[in-house]
Amino acid sequence: MAETFATQKPATLIWCMGATQHTVGTANVRAFCILLLATGNVGGNGNGANIFRGHCNVQGATDVGLDVVTLPFYYGLDENAWRHWCRVWDVPFESMAARFDTPQMMGVPGIPTTRYFDAVQMPGQGAKREGDENYLQQRDSLKAMVVFGHGGNTVTRMPEAAKGLEKLDLLVVADPHPTTFAVLANRRENTYLLPICTQFETSGSRTASNRSLQWGSKVVEPIFESKDDYEAMYRLAGALDRAAERRAMPVRFQAELFKHIEVQGQQPSAESILREINRGSWSTGYSGQSPERLKLHMANQQHFDLVSLRGKEGTPVAGDFYGLPWPCWGTPEMKHPGTHILYNTNLHVKDGGGTFRARFGVERNGETLLAEGSWPKGSEIEDGYPEFTVAVLKRLGWFDELTAPEKASLEHHFGANIDRASWSTDLSGGIIRVAMEHGCMHYGNGKARANAWNLPDPVPVHREPIYTPRTDLIAQYPTLPDRRGFRLPHLGQSVQARSNTVGRDFPIVLTTGRLVEYEGGGEETRSNKWLAELQQDMFVEINPGDAQSRGIRDGQWVWVTGPESNSRARVKALVTERVGPGVAFMPFHFGGWFMGEDLRGRYPTGTDPIVLGESANTITTYGYDPVTFMQETKVTLCQIRSA
Amino acid sequence: MARLKFLCDADRCIECNACVTACKNENEVPWGINRRRVVTINDGKPGERSISMACMHCTDAPCAAVCPVSCFYGTADGLVLHDKDLCIGCGYCFYACPFGAPQYPRVGNFGGRGKMDKCTYCAGGPQADNSAVEYAQYGANRLAEGKLPLCAEMCSTKALLAGDGEIIAAIYKERVQRRGYGSGAWGWRTAYKEGLAV
């Protein structure tokens, strides 16, 4: 296979969440990218990295900033980023800064969803004991949580999650169905379930895995008394404002953050939300996909070529790529067609071409990081170059090609610092427009890098999982040492050492994953009678050899036990050669049973899914990627016995 | 006149069950009744194959041959349909069918099974096309609307084909020629007394 991949062109590499859900998750992804770069499979038709997403708009939700390390569209968390978004939202920077406990906290990444329960259970800095690293790097523990569209049973270490949920002062679950969050802990007070519309009961843009945006129109009025996400957030912001008024606090949410959002009654319009995205997201080229352009694509779907994704000549969408895949640079008026293939130097930048981004500086250890001998078709600069700023435009003598309104916008927002205004913070889009007129990529023309010098393991290396049956490999391939990240302690080698003592009692490698019938946490799909009928019982796949040595028959009940928190799950055995000897697999979509207990009685009447079952993540264990804190769901240890 | 058939290309079926779900939703088929199902053989082993099965609407259908009340009838398109008002739920057709197509809604006293239910090729039953009574007893009548069965229309890999037997056979032959192999149009010899040689 390696030879085929290296010699046959084009080749593409497809992966999904699984590759990332490891203690070496980002290293895996970087290794894949390096493989594609080394084999010359980037930037052309039919090649490249294709990362498939599991749900509608997962890509879009990530882009608009649910990652706790960045403001929307990957601007980061530094002051420049905050000032940029304050300009977009029309909110004074000082007002935004005043919302934080200390000025430093404004730039500190938040707490990832994989660790919320640790943040509830750990003391904050105020209650920290001398010499104890087991604390949260903020004033207090996590006290309240609002969960929008998140299953809960998709996160590892559920016995710890149950304890964390019990300890929260306030829990709000906003979802079309009551999720595992709603029933896992036996909460009686200060727990709210907000019924939220499904994607078919609301409108808005949705981004697919290929970065294309589609306009989704409301298919039906909400069937139940639910509200869509926009209205729920708008009304929450309003309630916070009223509470702040009563307490004479200066902070305002609805009054300050919806200035450019059209609201009818209590309903913010999806179109105006996308327009605000367009106004601020120059960094990733979400700026050209106006609601009007997306709706035009939806109305002319028949005019796009199914292979090239291009609109056919002589149609209203001629030349555009379907869904204006980001980056769709500049303003909507610039009519950029979107970028179907990233880093394609065979096209003009105004036609969807591109370069590798010059985002790691211009040189390192005396060697240039800018491109050499490579530029996009039609570029006036036939060499590498750094990112465009006003200063760069001036040096090139192109500054006066900016229009008067573009210059006025730059003057207004940057004043004396105008030279430092960059293509990604220029709200007029003028810097991008001028650079592209000259065939240049405003984000620079650099080299791709295989050596990520600012990350742990700059070049990916093998590291044994935290819980491994091959303890003989730990010395040579240890996981990373204990450290801190995301306000939390992040244990590595100290937990990995447990493999030496638990291996005998938990000899089977357990991995988890998806089923075709169910989606994510599964509440929505397990509530659908057609799908529920196809998968009626939570199960564990076990190899016939392992089943025989344990006296386990196909279809019988078994207990799966794990090496942390005395975890156990009662599931049915699926004896199959789908898994090899010594390996077991469990799907992660089930919930509503916990360590042998049926929690059906905890769902509000009539809202319980048809199928309930133990969650695979009751058994999964500690282990996080060092950069993203993505959880280790793919490798742990377990034991299986007849129930 | 077209002779309508089903063809499942076992080299393409990925066992996604979209055909099963589409069938159930389109025809409101109750829990426990499967007009269509996906069967996987050699599960987890090299050479694993899946195949989507329903009533194949056989030539000289064995179900019709054994029915004591002659509830089956053929259509001009070659479909094998049945009249539930005549069916006595005896189960003979279940034993005669080589594909396990006939389904029964209940297990009752003295072996009573209820009226037999099976795939109608989304062509309803003997009542007036697209009437409420037809839908209640047999489900959708897409054929009367000029549409093909939803299972095949929904198939994500186009493993399951429905339509004029000659056309779908030609599509399958072209595929086999292009990819250089084919495990055969499964069930065709049994259902239609003909193989699909390439």
Note down the domain range covering A308.
270-337
Are A276 and A253 contained in the same domain? no
- Interchain CB distance below 8 Å, B44 and A578: yes
CB A457 within 8 A of CB A477: no
CATH number for position A229 = 3.40.50.740
Scanning A434-493 for CB atoms below 8 A from B yields none
CB A446 within 8 A of CB A359: yes
Tokens of A519: 């989606």
Are A530 and A620 contained in the same domain? yes
Mean pLDDT of the region A528-539: 96
Are A281 and A264 contained in the same domain? no
Give the residue from B17, B40, B41, B50 with the most A CB atoms within 10 Å of its CB, the best one to mutate: B17
- Interchain CB distance below 8 Å, A516 and B17: yes
Are A245 and A312 contained in the same domain? no
Residue type, A149: G
A516 in reach of chain B (CB within 8 A): yes
Q: Is residue A571's pLDDT more than 90?
A: yes
- Interchain CB distance below 8 Å, A529 and B31: yes
| Residue at which a domain ends, from A288, A305, A337 | A337
Mean pLDDT of the region B12-17: 95
A611 in reach of chain B (CB within 8 A): no
Q: Tell me, yes or no, whether A41 lies in a domain.
A: no
| Residue at which a domain ends, from A247, A269, A291 | A269
DSSP state of A115: G
DSSP state of A125: G
Are A611 and A622 contained in the same domain? yes
In whole angstroms, what is the distance from residue A641 CA to residue A343 CA? 52
> What digits encode the pLDDT tens for the residues B76-88?
999 999 999 999 9
User: Residue A164: CA atoms inside 13 Å, Cβ hemisphere, count?
Assistant: 25
CB A583 within 8 A of CB A119: no
What domains sit in chain B, N to C, each tagged with a CATH number?
4-192 (3.30.70.20)
> What digits encode the pLDDT tens for the residues A329-355?
999 999 999 999 999 999 999 999 999
Nearest to A425 by CA among A390, A385, A394: A390
Are A241 and A277 contained in the same domain? no
- Interchain CB distance below 8 Å, B31 and A517: no
Q: Is residue B60's pLDDT more than 70?
A: yes
Q: Is residue A412's pLDDT more than 80?
A: yes
**Tokens 């290929």 sit at which residue?**
A210
Are A248 and A351 contained in the same domain? no
Total number of residues shown for chain A? 643
Are A300 and A384 contained in the same domain? no
Residue B198: pLDDT band by 50, 70, 90 thresholds?
A: low
Are A395 and A522 contained in the same domain? no
Mean pLDDT of the region A450-477: 95
What does pLDDT average to over chain B? 93
**Neighbouring C-beta atoms of residue B43, cutoff 10 Å:** 14
Cα torsion angle, A31, A33, A34, A36, sign: positive
b/e code A200-228 from CB counts within 10 Å (16+ = b): ebbbbbbbbebbbbbbbeeeeebeeebbb
Residue B185: pLDDT band by 50, 70, 90 thresholds?
A: confident
> What digits encode the pLDDT tens for the residues A41-95?
999 999 999 999 888 999 999 999 889 999 999 999 999 999 999 999 999 999 9
CATH number for position A508 = 2.40.40.20
Q: Tell me, yes or no, whether A52 lies in a domain.
A: no
Q: Tell me, yes or no, whether A45 lies in a domain.
A: no
Are A505 and A579 contained in the same domain? yes
Q: Tell me, yes or no, whether A27 lies in a domain.
A: no
**Neighbouring C-beta atoms of residue A489, cutoff 10 Å:** 19
Note the pLDDT of residue A131: 81
Is the ipTM higher than 0.85? The answer is yes
Mean pLDDT of the region A220-234: 95
Q: Tell me, yes or no, whether A39 lies in a domain.
A: no
Tokens of A464: 């044994």
B-chain residues near A531 (CB < 8 A): 21
Note the pLDDT of residue B184: 80
In whole angstroms, what is the distance from residue A613 CA to residue A598 CA? 8
> What digits encode the pLDDT tens for the residues A85-108?
999 999 999 999 999 999 999 999
CA closest to B16 among chain A residues: A516
Distances (CA, A) of A29 to A68, A115, A492, A625, A632: 20, 22, 20, 12, 14
Number of separate domains in chain A: 4
Q: Is residue B194's pLDDT more than 90?
A: no
CA closest to A525 among chain B residues: B21
| Residue at which a domain ends, from A246, A269, A292 | A269
In whole angstroms, what is the distance from residue B163 CA to residue B169 CA? 10
What does pLDDT average to over chain A? 95
Mean pLDDT of the region B100-116: 84
Q: Tell me, yes or no, whether A496 lies in a domain.
A: yes
Task: Give the closest-approach CA distance of B26 to chain A in angstroms.
Answer: 11
Residue B105: pLDDT band by 50, 70, 90 thresholds?
A: confident
- Interchain CB distance below 8 Å, B24 and A576: no
Q: What angle do CA A314, A315, A321 make, to 5 degrees?
A: 110
CB B186 within 8 A of CB B13: no
Q: Tell me, yes or no, whether A436 lies in a domain.
A: yes
Are A561 and A415 contained in the same domain? no
> What digits encode the pLDDT tens for the residues A611-634?
999 999 999 999 999 999 999 999
> What digits encode the pLDDT tens for the residues A205-216?
999 999 999 999
Q: Tell me, yes or no, whether A19 lies in a domain.
A: no
Note the pLDDT of residue A25: 96
Are A513 and A396 contained in the same domain? no
